[in-house]
A and B are shown apart, each in its own frame.
Chain A
């Protein structure tokens, strides 16, 4: 209970108090009223960082679901070495994001990266995976998908096994093909799993930090700066504690709003 008061209740209350102040930790706190909130709505980089995070989610979540579902479908058939494949896909999930990022940074390298060497090898031009502002965030989203997809493959596999086999047998009698079975039986039956994956990867995606921090530092032209990365910079590079707390609080409300909208959407669907 003491622990809870100290590390949850107090921070939340203090956070709200902080948002009305200007403070660099060393000098005394200075009351500035709503100034932080006014700053926030004028802060183009913060708004961009929130936008970047949303772009990340919009690429990451659909990609994640499609790939995970596709692989889970394949692994759900009776194939050899199923356990080995499952284990291999799961490996990036347990490894630190730091490791995955350093690795992909090499793959994405402009001159020496594997992807560009393959492209030039087959006679195509190089792509600025991390240096082109239009592509960089998508590159990070693809990497994040590679890292997390193993977990969602497992969740989908569990989901697929709950579908009663009689449904498929009945469909076979009616002469349904593979695609019809997938869209008419599998998809509706595993809806709950899909929703769970959406919510989990939304919350995970909103905490995007280490990947852009290592890979691009938020560049080029702030195209990959995520909201958490920006809050971190405001708080611990510039020591704008009051402002960083304001950003955190505001961003938390955005997260809440997105999750609530998703939930509404889900409940309406049912």
Chain B
């Protein structure tokens, strides 16, 4: 298994050397709005990541440091949702999107992903290791709950934030089934979706070079991020066992 070769190098073995010019890329840009799709993907993945970090830490804080009735029950309900296969909720979620009129909007891509059980559990776990005395001291100094979360807990939880951030960003960048369902308007499509439809829909006209060019464009941002933060990527995913 020659997984050592970078994606585009393997690809180039199968196409004619003559098509190794930039013409494939030029043709691709001509055929599909890949630039717009890049922006869409970026907006969606960043919004989801920020949302997951904010809401995950807020709920994680409530479940680990605040005392209220039903706390444990809520925690178990959250764990239960994690074990629920997405195959059950796929169709009803789509119908909710239709009823809200969110089909072909960013809302459909972002809102269902804003809160995620894994991030809550990880934040809860991490916050538990932070001593209560730190929070009590902050409270005495007049911090409100939000200030406690974002001024006191966040700077002390960088490993958890990095792990959750990387996993969330990567998963939402690579997500393709949900966009295929809720977005029909080409100008709002995310990158994986656009490339998929391009590869399946016959618009690449069986020109391998153009198809591969679109695949390289799709892989590039994540691969670049990976090259810079390789250590964090591997640690994050090994600690959670999560892939796409």
Contact = CB atoms under 8 A, between A and B. Distances in A.
A217 B201 CA distance: 11
Contacts of B214: 102
A interface SS class: helix
B189 to A, nearest CB: 12
Given A91-B226, A248-B88, A96 B176 contact: yes
Given A95-B222, A154-B234, A11 B195 contact: no
B89 A8 contact: yes
A207 interface: yes
Contacts of A236: 94, 180-181
A25 B243 CA distance: 33
B96 A150 contact: no
A110 interface: no
Interface string B91-113: 11111101000000000000010
Contacts of A67: 1
A225 B219 CA distance: 26
Contacts of A262: none
B177 A99 contact: no
Interface residues of B, number: 63
B11 interface: yes
Interface residues of A, number: 74
B27 interface: no
A10 B13 CA distance: 50
B233 A245 contact: no
B3 A150 contact: yes
Given A98-B218, A102-B215, A113 B91 contact: no
B85 A252 contact: yes
A89 B91 contact: no
B241 A248 contact: no
A91 B114 CA distance: 27
Given A93-B243, A103-B7, A98 B196 contact: yes
Interface in B54-106: 55, 74, 77-78, 81, 84-96, 98
Contacts of B177: 209-210, 228, 232
14 contacts: A4-B78, A11-B88, A88-B4, A94-B233, A96-B218, A102-B195, A106-B11, A148-B243, A150-B3, A207-B85, A210-B177, A217-B200, A236-B94, A245-B92
Q: Lowest 10 A-B CB distances belong to which pairs?
A: A11-B92, A11-B89, A96-B174, A102-B215, A14-B92, A248-B87, A245-B91, A252-B85, A99-B219, A88-B4
